[in-house]
Structures are given as structure tokens and as C-alpha cells.
Chain A
Amino acid sequence: MSADPLLTVDGVNAGYGETKVLHDLSLEIHEGEIVSLVGRNGAGKTTTLRTIMGIIQPTAGTVGYRGEDVSEVDATETVQRGISFVPEERRIFPELTVMENLEIAHIGGGDDADAMSIEEALGMFENLQDRTENHGSSLSGGEQQMLSIARALVGGADVILLDEPTEGLAPYIVQDVMDIIEELNDRGITVLLVEQNVHVGLALADRNYVINQGEIVWEGTSAELEADEEILDTYLGVTA
């Protein structure tokens, strides 16, 4: 593990209007890692991702990327710097075809020379290959999730923020999504994963952060987390 983290969140406070969601939250992610952020509903997981993306700006603290302070950088610029967001609702453009969904993401990546080509991305997602001319609205939940991840890849992402990628999916598709996450990690992409399903996080992540009420309350490897019944019980509602 290299000494300097790729992405840092340092003492961040953030929220919506009057409501403060994150309190002095800090975490760091190194290049090539899969890090999971787990916690209950309303703990501040999605808000953390939105703050990193610049969809909302922190009221205190900094977000750093490749050694630069990116706290004030907006979402559009963040993507162009190499961080992509795969939101919980997937947000596929329903009236665009699969191909067009990918094309627009490719444009958004700012013609990043390192970005994965659309052909290569389709190679990774077999079930999308035959459906390139279908409209986004005709895809199943699992296919939408795949397309949403594929969009991040062709947009030239070096870091992907995945928000609840397995939510609402059938168990065998959950497995497919997990396989994809591993594969993209093998290709050198850094992943920050938010999961309600602790076990998906445990299976994939190198390291885990447990978030509760907008604060990081625990940090450690998956093996450590699995062994820590108290943490599982108190913060994640998992009764062992």
C-alpha cells in the first residue's frame, strides 16, 4: 500500500440546509483498494458519497484527491478528474438506448484517453451486449445496475463510488454484481462501496468503515469486523 492515500475525507461536516448529517467525518482510500462504508439507514452513507462528488459542499473540513483539495469542486468537474458516482437509483436515461447511455458517459469523461472504450466495457457486461439498441427503460434492475457501472467505466473513472449496488436485486444477480466489482478492481479501479447488506461489503472489501450518525465509529479489515460481534450488533443491527 502506497504511503499517500488517493482519496481523503478529512474532518468533514456536511448536510442539507439546516440539517447537519456528517459530523467531523474522516476516511481515506488508497489506490487499488475496495473500501466499504457500512451503517444503518440515515447514518450518512449517501451524504458522504455526495460530498465527495461535490453534489453538496462541506461546511467544514476538506475532501482531497491525488493530493489536491477538491472540497469546492462541483460534480461535473469531479467526474472529469476521475471520480464517478453510481447512484442508488441507478438513474439510467430511460429514453436513450443502452449505447447512447454509454456514449454520453464517454463524452462526460472529457474524452479521457485512459477511459475504457465502449467496446471493452460491453465485453465486461455480457448481458448488455445484445441489448445495445434497447431503451434504458426496458432493462431489468440488474441490467440497469450493470449499465450504471459501465457508464462510470467508459467515463474514465479511476475511483468509483457505488451506492447500494445490490439493493432490490435477486440473490443470483447480487452475485453477478459482486463479480463485476471484483473484476473492475482487478483492472486497477479503486472502489468505495456503500452497502446496507453487510455481507456484500464483508466479502469484497479490503477495509471497512462503520458510520453511525454521521461519524466514523469503527475502522478495520473485513476479518476484524466479522469477529467483532459488538460492533455488528450495535451499529449494524446484525444479531450474530
Chain B
Amino acid sequence: MEAQEREPVAAGDTILRTDGLVRKFGEFTATDHVDLEIERGEFRSIIGPNGAGKTTLFNLISGALPVTDGTIYFDGEDITGLSPQQRVRRGIGRSFQISNVFGGLSVRENVRLAAQSVHRDEYNIVESLFKTTDKYERMNERTDRILERVGLDDIAEEEADVLAYGDRRRLEIGVVLATDPDLVLFDEPTAGMSVEETQGTIDLIEDVLVDQTLMLIEHDIELVMELSDNITVLNRGEILAEGTPEEVANNQAVQDAYLGGMVE
């Protein structure tokens, strides 16, 4: 596969917009009136101290949690009331904080399940019950293509549980890719990795998901500065700052939040 470059961001083409997003847990406000606007093709990182509401924000966007208040627009349409699976079908893919593939299934089955979800409408219910999976050409072609793309075609028949850590990551990314997303949410994909592994994972994401809009939660500030088109800084559920890596790095409020925000 040829190396492709990410396209520059097309200004004015918003893929995701949130409007006054609020999520409360009891009295605790995890997400407090968050307004986001993500451009198509953008690489956006979300940073902030622990408990800032980053994962909650992803949960709201992916539909894992219902919102308390506010609206989410994807491709210009209100998706606030949609279930997680409906959002996946519209093109919001999600990779989990903890690698979360189907351990008891083979690598191929994992990817094929995702591909099958995309090609779901190509067969009727009776067919889906009685025609064996190997008879679906488009689905299997897609599976093969993706296995090759993420470099797992050699070990496609291995059970996911026995994969090495790095290969599990590849599989996870392959599975997300197979759902044909336009926007992918990555929640700390490099947590617990060595420096080399981190670089390898980021390279893979950049390499494989060239056509997708990416949102990334990441603790490694250096990495974030290097990769992102834009950065959103969350603190206590609110947007503290937003802008290019340079703008954010020079923002006084951000420095305070990381250095002295909690302790006067």
C-alpha cells in the first residue's frame, strides 16, 4: 500500500458539532456546556487533567452515554437521540481505552464482523440466517483488504487472545477501519506503551486512517503537539482553551490549569 498523506483540512466543512453539551452524574457535572466544531479531515486532540471529562465527552459523542443537555450534530444532522449502533452506521467509529477485541474469535472473524456490519443491508433476513459467511464476496473482500492494510493477513486465523500486544492494537485499528468510519475517536491508544510502541501505533493510525477525521485523547503532550491540527483543552468539564498546538502551548489559562489551577 502506498503511503498517503493526510489531506489538508477543508475549511468550512464541519463533520461534527456539539452545542452546549452537558452531562451530569448526580450532582457532579462531568461535561459542562461543551461546544465543539470539528472539520472534515481534521486531527483533533483532546487533552486535560484527569477527571476533566475527556472520556465522558467521547461517550457522549459515540452514544455510550445519553446527554443531560445539549445537541450533537454529525454531518449536519442531529444525532443526539440515536443509539450507539446507529451512530456507528452513520460513520462514527470508536477505539477503546482498553484493547477490546473479541478474544475468543479469530483475527479474521473480528475484522469480518465489522465488515459485515457495513454490508448488512446487502442481504435480507432469511439470507443472513441461512447463507454461510464465506459466501458473501464483498464482505470477505473487504475483510481481506483490511487485514492486508494493517499487516495481519499472515496471522488471520490466530485467535485474538493469543496475539502480541502490538498485533492486538493493529487488530483494534483494523476493526475500527472495517466499520467504514468518517470520524474515529481514539481514547488513549498508546496508554502503557513504550516509546517505540507509541510511535509505531501513531504511525499506524496516521497511515491507515488517512481519509478519516480523527479525535484523540492523549496524555503525551509532546505527541499531541506534534500530531494535531488543533487541540481542545478540557478542565472540569469545560473547554479551557482551543486552537493550534502553538496557540494552546502559549495560552496562560492552560499553563495555569496544568501548573497551579487547583492549588492557589
Name A's B-contacting residues (CB within 8 A): 21, 40-42, 140-141, 164, 166-168, 171, 174-175, 196-197, 199-200, 203, 213, 233, 237-240
Contacts and interface: CB of A to CB of B under 8 A. Distances in A.
Interface string B217-251: 00111000000000000000000000000000100
Contacts of B194: 213
Contact of B263 (A141, A167, A203, A237): A203
Nearest to B261: A171
Interface residues of B, number: 22
A196 B50 CA distance: 7
Q: Chain B at the A interface: mostly helix, strand, loop or mixed?
A: loop
Interface of B: 27-28, 49-51, 188, 191-194, 219-221, 249, 255, 258-264
**Most B CB atoms within 10 A — which of A21, A168, A171?**
A168
Given A40-B219, A41-B219, A42-B192, A238 B50 contact: no
Q: Chain A at the B interface: mostly helix, strand, loop or mixed?
A: loop
Contact of A237 (B219, B249, B255, B261): B219
Nearest to B197: A213
A74 B8 CA distance: 56
Nearest to A232: B259
Contacts of B28: 141, 168
Contacts of B221: 233, 237, 239
Contacts of B263: 171, 174-175, 197, 199-200, 203
B49 A171 contact: no
A105 to B, nearest CB: 24
Contacts of B188: 41-42
A28 to B, nearest CB: 25
Contact of B259 (A174, A175, A200, A238): A238
